[in-house]
Structure 1
Amino acid sequence: MRGVIGPRSLRGYACTAAAVAAGAFGGIAALPAVAGADGPGVGTPAVVTLGDSAISGEAGRWAGNTNGSSGNIDALGSTAYWDTPTGEAIRNCHRSRSAQAYIGGGVLSVNLACSGARTTTGGTGSGEDYKPGIDFYSDAQGRRGQALALQEYASTHNVKAVVVMIVANNYGFADVVTRCVTNWLTSPSWWKNYCSDDSDIADRFTPARQATETANVRDAILRVAQAMRNAGYTTAQYKIIGQTYWNPIPRSDRARYPETGWDRQNIGGCGAWNRDVNWANDVVVPAMNNSVRNGTAAAGLPNTTVLDLQTAFDGRRLCENTVGLLEERGIANWRSAGAVDNTEWVNQIRTVTTIVGPYQLQESIHANYWGQMAMRNCLRQAYNGGAVRGGTCAHGTGLNGQGEPNMTLR
């Protein structure tokens, strides 16, 4: 690894900030009021989602990407992340209305995930952003970890499935994105500075580190099981679904823009060197997902399964050559015919456009409205009318009757 040669653009500062926020995969002050069942095994069935921003609904406001008017992709409006009538229960948890939890069909849903969350609770100090982990944290302010919040909800509802998507922030995904984009912005094509060979980045994905994070996922799954036992459930009454992360960006041979010049970031919002993009596909995402799969299995519970989304967005990813911005594909807005099949399901890494809004830094490189709705379709199929199952989810074309991308769970 070598030092930075010099700034390629003044946009580097803003992009670095964007990437930091982008990785904040994301709290719980009070549960949403949900009328429901009496308790374990009795009443209307319910689904609960736990984890970070990948499942909370971060970026769920936006349907596709554009460098034109934001109104053309604004699917949910300025209240997209409100989970109470007056705003967010926990600041910056970003539980969007398009989040996958809300599968409908007479099934109650509660989204306890929070953007920025890790397997254990953080941000409890004065002036910090509270981030509930999948644990039993509680304090005098009434803040609770996601496992404790689950326990309280499950005791008065008939929970049939608990979906857990967690570990990206344990690995420091934000730091990885930040470094890769910054190194691309601040090094010339004739002397490329890669993030993948920076020791403090590469060391996050060693076998030893992966073993540690796999154990952290295992322990989080075991705390979910403990919460359900405390609420009065047997393992026969519900299932825990460990859910893997979708790959947000394609390998370099499927990139829409070259690595040299400025189009990859100025137009696409995906600035990174080819080698680093390929490393992210070959090392980063597989490491996170292996921790989810292996940690779920290591819990040794009879009622777990895995919903695999790793390739669910393939063909619809950020800067992939099979899709594009609205203006690149000749699409007027997100409601236009064919928008779901021709535009990206992952938000751009935005920079200066977040200074005055409406875009927010932490929305970058997350599944957008289309991606969230695709995940919802996958979860509904995994719920399977209460006979919960796992499998691998893949996209088709077009929309179903509920306005979601057509998906198939195998």
Structure 2
Amino acid sequence: MRFLQRAAAAVMLLVSAAAIQVVQGGPAQAALPTAAVALGDSFVSGEGAGDYQPVVDASGTAQAFPGWSAANSNAYFCHRSANASVFTASLPGIQQRFNLACSGAQPADIANPASARPEGRAVASQLDQLRALAQTHDIDVVLVGLGSNNTQFTFGDVATLCANRFIADAWTGWWEFWAYLNGEVPQRPCTASDLATDTEVAAATTETTAALRQILDTLAQIDADGTHQVILQTYTNPLPPDIAPQYHEEDGRTDTRDKFRALGAERYAAGCPIHRASLAPGQVFSQNLGSLVKNAYATLAAERPAADLRVLDVQRAFDGARLCENPDSPAGALATPVRVQDGPSGTFITSLSGWDKIGIQRAANTCVTYFQTCQESWHPNAAGHTVLGQCLTGAFAAAPRAIVTCARNPDGTLTIS
């Protein structure tokens, strides 16, 4: 009898334990695989690094290369590279990596489909893509690159402005009106205010901060274990403070003299068709982008003292290996040279020697009509992303809420501090 009583009691305990499991949601599920994710614009998507992967568009269709004459709004032209830094970094404990960034992305694209704005690509909002990923993965690392493209200015427009002015100055006399329909041919070097005024940078900071806040809010809702680090990356200038002496003049002509076509062709071949006087304003622009990211970080870190936010400052990551910093440019540079095509042919023009102004205008118009033919220009190349991946490795291993600086030394090694 006592045996039967003890057996009955044991059964009741098992039934009670099972009931508790049901109330609490059943047996524990297997842990989700950990993931690192890249969000933002071209400097983290891998623009310029080649080996671009198919991109799923807003309708759920994976878009492979659609041809050079396709609409630039095609999702493929987000240019998500298999060589992007999120894939090259050493991230112990991270099982899978995902690239949700898109070349040309703006802060609005974080919460809204990029197609909702002019010149956006046909992809879902980056947060919607992140939410879908969180269904199957535990997101532990988020690399964010935002700030270079805004309502106020975009990196592509800034780069095009300064390069076009140099080319116009090199090939065009004051009496020739081939570059603009209104008869004006701007040929002067860029100034800091041409690129972004202080007011524009302030507005862009506010816009970027708001988008970053949306990312943090979403992660708080969807992350499986609530533990993740968010790394805010700054930008690195593809051009040096000054170019190597051999690019200062050609055939006795500098870029302060009229009609310096040989010098223009030389600098284009080297990847840096730009006035020397535009380089200092370009450095100011790059520094402003760095300040933009750091100011956004300061605001959000104060708002969210428990959040594991980090800054990865890569402004000096390409020191000594920028375009035209050395005599053999673009060989050995960590950024892509400016390159255009003569029509959407897939063949890049590497030399403008012997070209006349009409031919150059035709090639320039190709870039305008088919932006994908030139959008890789002045972005980190595959070697550059290897360096950025090493920088990311350092930020990942740093203490929470650190500001990590990654600088290239003269011997090519990196100092990460």
In the alignment, which residue of structure 2 is the partner of 1:92? 77
Is 1:115 the counterpart of 2:106 in the alignment?
Answer: no
> Residues 385 and 276 from structure 1, CA distance in 2 versus in 1: closer, same or farther, beyond 3 angstroms?
closer
Displacement of 1:123: 4.9
What pairs up with 1:26-41 in 2 under 5 angstroms? none
- The separation in 2 between residues aligned to 1:311 and 1:354, in whole angstroms, is 36
In the alignment, which residue of structure 2 is the partner of 1:215? 206
Q: What code does the residue aligned with 1:348 have? A: P
Is 1:225 the counterpart of 2:226 in the alignment?
Answer: no
Is 1:348 the counterpart of 2:337 in the alignment?
Answer: yes
Q: What code does the residue aligned with 2:285 have? A: V
Match of 2:115 among 90, 101, 124: 124
- The separation in 1 between residues aligned to 2:245 and 2:213, in whole angstroms, is 40
Displacement of 1:202: 1.9
> Residues 111 and 124 from structure 1, CA distance in 2 versus in 1: closer, same or farther, beyond 3 angstroms?
same
Is 1:280 the counterpart of 2:293 in the alignment?
Answer: no
> Residues 155 and 250 from structure 1, CA distance in 2 versus in 1: closer, same or farther, beyond 3 angstroms?
same
CA contact (8 A) 2:54 2:76 kept: no
In the alignment, which residue of structure 2 is the partner of 1:250? 240
> Residues 308 and 82 from structure 1, CA distance in 2 versus in 1: closer, same or farther, beyond 3 angstroms?
same
CA contact (8 A) 1:381 1:409 kept: yes
Of all paired residues, the percent bearing the same amino acid is: 28
CA contact (8 A) 1:251 1:277 kept: yes
Aligned residue for 1:240, secondary structure, equals strand
Displacement of 1:131: 3.5
Which segment is superposed worse, 151-160 or 359-368? 151-160
In the alignment, which residue of structure 1 is the partner of 2:190? 196
Q: TM-score, normalised by structure 1?
A: 0.68
Is 1:56 the counterpart of 2:45 in the alignment?
Answer: yes
Higher helix share: 2
CA contact (8 A) 2:134 2:222 kept: yes
- For 1:245-289, what per-residue CA distance to the aligned partner results, in whole angstroms no more than 9, with x for missing partners? 0111001254651163224434212111111111101x2111111
> Residues 358 and 91 from structure 1, CA distance in 2 versus in 1: closer, same or farther, beyond 3 angstroms?
same
Displacement of 1:233: 5.8
- For 1:221-248, what per-residue CA distance to the aligned partner results, in whole angstroms no more than 9, with x for missing partners? 111111112214676x112111000111
Compare CA radii of gyration and give the structure with the larger one: 2
- The separation in 2 between residues aligned to 1:186 and 1:96, in whole angstroms, is 33
Displacement of 1:322: 6.6
Aligned residue for 1:318, secondary structure, equals coil
In the alignment, which residue of structure 2 is the partner of 1:163? 143
- For 1:316-343, what per-residue CA distance to the aligned partner results, in whole angstroms no more than 9, with x for missing partners? 11111275344xxxxxxxxxxxxxxxx0
Aligned residue for 1:150, secondary structure, equals helix
Structure showing greater relative contact order (alpha-carbon pairs closer than 8 Å, 6 or more residues apart): 1
- The separation in 2 between residues aligned to 1:367 and 1:354, in whole angstroms, is 24
CA contact (8 A) 1:48 1:112 kept: yes
- The separation in 2 between residues aligned to 1:387 and 1:207, in whole angstroms, is 31
- For 1:39-79, what per-residue CA distance to the aligned partner results, in whole angstroms no more than 9, with x for missing partners? 9xx44332111111111011112xxxxxxxxxxxxxx5xxx
CA contact (8 A) 1:95 1:111 kept: yes
In the alignment, which residue of structure 2 is the partner of 1:308? 313
CA contact (8 A) 1:351 1:361 kept: yes
In the alignment, which residue of structure 2 is the partner of 1:10? none
> Residues 160 and 386 from structure 1, CA distance in 2 versus in 1: closer, same or farther, beyond 3 angstroms?
farther
- The separation in 2 between residues aligned to 1:86 and 1:145, in whole angstroms, is 16
In the alignment, which residue of structure 2 is the partner of 1:295? 296
- For 1:73-100, what per-residue CA distance to the aligned partner results, in whole angstroms no more than 9, with x for missing partners? xxx5xxx443578726922010011011
Q: How many residues align?
A: 316
Displacement of 1:169: 1.5
> Residues 106 and 305 from structure 1, CA distance in 2 versus in 1: closer, same or farther, beyond 3 angstroms?
closer
In the alignment, which residue of structure 2 is the partner of 1:184? 166
Q: What code does the residue aligned with 1:92 have? A: F
- The separation in 2 between residues aligned to 1:314 and 1:185, in whole angstroms, is 26
CA contact (8 A) 2:108 2:114 kept: no
CA contact (8 A) 2:310 2:400 kept: no
- The separation in 1 between residues aligned to 2:144 and 2:410, in whole angstroms, is 27
- The separation in 2 between residues aligned to 1:257 and 1:81, in whole angstroms, is 36
CA contact (8 A) 1:245 1:288 kept: yes
- The separation in 1 between residues aligned to 2:63 and 2:202, in whole angstroms, is 42
CA contact (8 A) 2:32 2:136 kept: no
Is 1:151 the counterpart of 2:118 in the alignment?
Answer: no
Q: TM-score, normalised by structure 2?
A: 0.67
CA RMSD across the alignment: 3.2
Q: What code does the residue aligned with 1:369 have? A: A
- The separation in 2 between residues aligned to 1:169 and 1:203, in whole angstroms, is 15
CA contact (8 A) 1:354 1:361 kept: no
> Residues 365 and 111 from structure 1, CA distance in 2 versus in 1: closer, same or farther, beyond 3 angstroms?
same
Q: What code does the residue aligned with 2:392 have? A: L
Q: What code does the residue aligned with 2:316 have? A: T
